[in-house]
Structure 1
Amino acid sequence: MAVREILQYGDNRLNTICEPIKEFNEEVLDIIQDLKDTLYDGTGIGLAAPQIGILKRAILIDLRMGGEPIILINPEIVESSGSECDYEGCLSYVGYEGEVVRPTRVVVEGLNENGEGIRYSAKGLLARAFCHEIDHLDGILYMSKADSMYELVEEEEE
Structure 2
Amino acid sequence: MAKLKLVYHPNEVLEQECEVVKNFDNKLAKLLNGMYDLMLEADGVGLAAPQVGVLQQVAVVDVDDRHGKIELINPVIIEQRGEQIGPEGCLSFPGLFGDVARADYVKVHAQNRKGKPYFIEAKGFLARAIQHEIDHLHGVLFTEKVTKYYEEDELEG
After TM superposition, the score normalised by the length of structure 1 is 0.93
Alpha-carbon distance in 2 for matches of 1:32, 1:112: 10
> Is there any run of 5+ residues in structure 1 with no aligned partner, and where?
none
Q: Which residue of 2 aligns with 1:140?
A: 140
Q: Which residue of 1 aligns with 2:37?
A: 37
1:19 partner letter? E
**Cα distance, 1:92 vs structure 2:** 0.5
After TM superposition, the score normalised by the length of structure 2 is 0.93
> Is there any run of 5+ residues in structure 2 with no aligned partner, and where?
none
Alpha-carbon distance in 2 for matches of 1:12, 1:92: 12
> Could you say if the C-alpha distance between residues 66 and 42 of structure 1 is closer, same or farther in structure 2, counting changes exceeding 3 Å?
farther
Matches within 5 A, 1:1-158: 3-65=3-65, 67-153=67-153
What SS does the corresponding residue of 2:148 show, helix, strand or coil?
strand
**Cα distance, 1:118 vs structure 2:** 0.8
Alpha-carbon distance in 2 for matches of 1:91, 1:84: 21
Q: Among the aligned pairs, what percent are the same residue?
A: 38
Alpha-carbon distance in 2 for matches of 1:41, 1:83: 30
**Cα distance, 1:153 vs structure 2:** 3.8
Alpha-carbon distance in 1 for matches of 2:80, 2:153: 34
1:49 partner letter? A
> Which of structure 1's runs of 4+ aligned residues deviate more than 3 A?
none
1:129 partner letter? A
Alpha-carbon distance in 1 for matches of 2:68, 2:114: 16
2:61 partner letter? I
For each residue in 1:45-83, what CA deviation from the matched residue of structure 2 results, as whole angstroms up to 9, or x when unmatched?
000011011110001001123642000100010000101
**Matched residues, number:** 155
1:74 partner letter? N
Alpha-carbon distance in 1 for matches of 2:20, 2:97: 29
